[in-house]
Structure 1
């Protein structure tokens, strides 16, 4: 019997001890279940298909998150960047690919993969011994008799792992997804080329001092090599950029199609100038590998990317993403997937019950704290009804039953 439905009861952190407190199975049973294979990507893909209407604008998002972990023997333990503390720390890292409903501003995780360690540990140094020249000559002669050593392949970088994760998940993305949004860490030539090869377009962020070139559109000389560029992009002079519009008071949007030297391709940039704070000017430089994309849509899609940060926040605070009591890679994978899939199902179930009869799905804000309280209250009331042998129909039809279910939730 699969224990996964019990994990979906969000009444505590997703670890063996807390799960056993609210079910009939023991901690050992859950620990054994975590070694079993389960198609989380297939479940998440089907859930996204049911939760997101076909007419909605959908984009893909990829990001990684730091997982604090104590000990020395856990799989994947390495030094990763911890954004909450703005520094590199020792722990675990997961890469998450999510599907975001732009209009509803709601994200669903599709796939999660743990980032392997690039430095598994320091190798022990052999003890130095004194050897004779005769022994050294014998070793050299034997080495010369050996066949040539094949070239060692270059070690995989973390960008390679992120790209492999996207390749593995590409077929499970909804057909409506044409854009993959990521933060500035993914603005690398290898990753951009890999995303485009998967029939997707990347939207990401660049440094404000990125090496860009204007494209030459003037008349070419009759002889010689064709002229490609028309000078370096200088954001101190915005006269050569195309003004789009004033998004709001003090927030101006410019755009242009330029050549990125490091990415080695044409890109469309969206340059935001923020003068809303007196005496301070903020800038943001976004880009898309799709040169035909509207600059306003690029900004809208990049703003929607922040929904994946809410996924990390809710999973860490309410579904025990950081509370894995295991060091085994298979159990860690099951734990991370179970935590994020639990969050998906909570969002979908909350979406099915609008707070008002005429409310639309997109107008109902989602609160994982409220949903967790609802789930706990339901579970506790069911225990009271069962243990006290009460009539469930009589209890649930009482006008104050809904008040008990919503006790302690966040006011809308």
Structure 2
């Protein structure tokens, strides 16, 4: 992509957009999630894959495809996941040739089938988790000299306890980033997790969880990658 200088960092992002549409004869009519309405509504959906210049915080559309209806691909959620993955596969060589290693997504794509599929074709995912996601700490202490399997995990994450998270940076007064390498039983893999912690209201601490399948990614860069998808 000649519009992005070779020295600039870049990632890709994929997102699905709901398009209101009535009628019975238009292609792809089905119920799709509408972020504005906060529920699924009848209409059409387009899936957009873009390359993002992180230095200039600018996105360039690479591929836009219309999501087929369930009448065409089946009603199972996995079928739409496979459709999104197939769109990325079609553009895999182009993305790799332009230095893209990470693909940013929203919570819609935080599913085992999508994560596994993306890693399988050679990319890392940067996404968002539920605020109450079931996660557990990795066991990092020396293992006792005994028979049997070594201990892998060291307790479930409790979100009102910040003592086992590593401080990254302060975004603004009362808002900070902390990080930890954690295991997700749901996804059956370890993740780099970054927590955006809002403590401006002492009676109501809030947080948002971001993750990457890339355990070597810089936590602040992970946060910036996710934020760039907007």
TM-score by length of 1: 0.53
- 2:115 corresponds in structure 1 to 192
Q: 1:102 aligns with which of 41, 54, 60?
A: 54
- How big is the alpha-carbon RMSD for the aligned residues of Structure 1 and Structure 2? 1.7
Q: Does 1:208 align with 2:131?
A: yes
- 1:70 corresponds in structure 2 to 22
Q: CA deviation at 1:275?
A: 2.7
Counterparts of 1:286 and 1:51 in 2: how far apart (Å)?
29
TM-score by length of 2: 0.92
- 2:165 corresponds in structure 1 to 241
Q: Does 1:288 align with 2:212?
A: yes
- 2:226 corresponds in structure 1 to 302
Which runs of structure 2 are paired with 1:161-180 in the superposition (5 Å)? 161-173=83-95, 174-180=97-103
Counterparts of 1:163 and 1:72 in 2: how far apart (Å)?
28
The structure with the largest helix share of the pair is 1
Distance 1:156 1:240, change over 3 A: closer
**Quick one: higher RCO (CA 8 Å, sep 6+), 1 or 2?**
1
Which protein is bigger by CA-based radius of gyration? 1
**1:313-336 deviations in Å (ceiling 9; x for gaps):** xxxxxxxxxxxxxxxxxxxxxxxx
Which runs of structure 2 are paired with 1:85-96 in the superposition (5 Å)? 85-96=37-48
Q: CA deviation at 1:107?
A: 0.6
Could you tell me which runs of 5 or more consecutive residues in structure 1 were left unpaired when the two chains were aligned: 1-48, 121-153, 307-412
- 2:150 corresponds in structure 1 to 226
Counterparts of 1:243 and 1:106 in 2: how far apart (Å)?
29
Distance 1:181 1:65, change over 3 A: same
Distance 1:67 1:255, change over 3 A: same
Q: Secondary structure at the match of 1:110?
A: strand
Counterparts of 2:212 and 2:78 in 1: how far apart (Å)?
26
Q: CA deviation at 1:219?
A: 2.4
Q: CA deviation at 1:280?
A: 4.1
The structure with the largest strand share of the pair is 2
Which runs of structure 2 are paired with 1:387-402 in the superposition (5 Å)? none
Counterparts of 2:60 and 2:86 in 1: how far apart (Å)?
20
Counterparts of 1:250 and 1:224 in 2: how far apart (Å)?
45
- 1:44 corresponds in structure 2 to none
The size of the alignment, in residue pairs, is 225
Counterparts of 1:283 and 1:115 in 2: how far apart (Å)?
32
Could you tell me which runs of 5 or more consecutive residues in structure 2 were left unpaired when the two chains were aligned: none
